[in-house]
Structure 1
Amino acid sequence: MKFLIDECLHTSLVAVAQDHGHDCFHVNWLGLSGEGDWDLMPRIVAGDFTFVTNNARDFRKLYLIHTRYNCGL
């Protein structure tokens, strides 16, 4: 799996995913910190990421509106 970790979560989660054999990136490391949820969505979908966040409520709405397929939230 390929994960993108939201800025509301600690960067140490990247190492946890990588230690289990997954590709993983953090929003802060991609220069996307401070971006609105709606601005992150195109990156999440285009990158085929499973998005890891504490803000699932807002992102669920965006997934329903903007995508027919996604890797998960």
Structure 2
Amino acid sequence: MEIGKYYYVLTYKGRLFEDIITIYAGNEPYEHSLMTTTNIKRTQLYESYEKALEHAKKYDLKVKKIRVDILGLGSK
């Protein structure tokens, strides 16, 4: 992450989107589970709003714009 740069994150009920886990039954997808986190270092960051919005719509999430130094990774 670059200090002072803006990124987009996806949120779900106040938590940050981390990943989607797919559980398989044999060779067929059985269930999808949404993983969330409160740790900014574990969330997926998007440099492009369009890419973030594409994933947000797919999983019914919200897009939030963040600036890295505001997260305590370089600002006082």
Per the normalisation by structure 2, the TM-score is 0.28
Compare the two structures and name the one with the higher helix fraction: 1
Could you say which structure has the higher strand fraction?
2
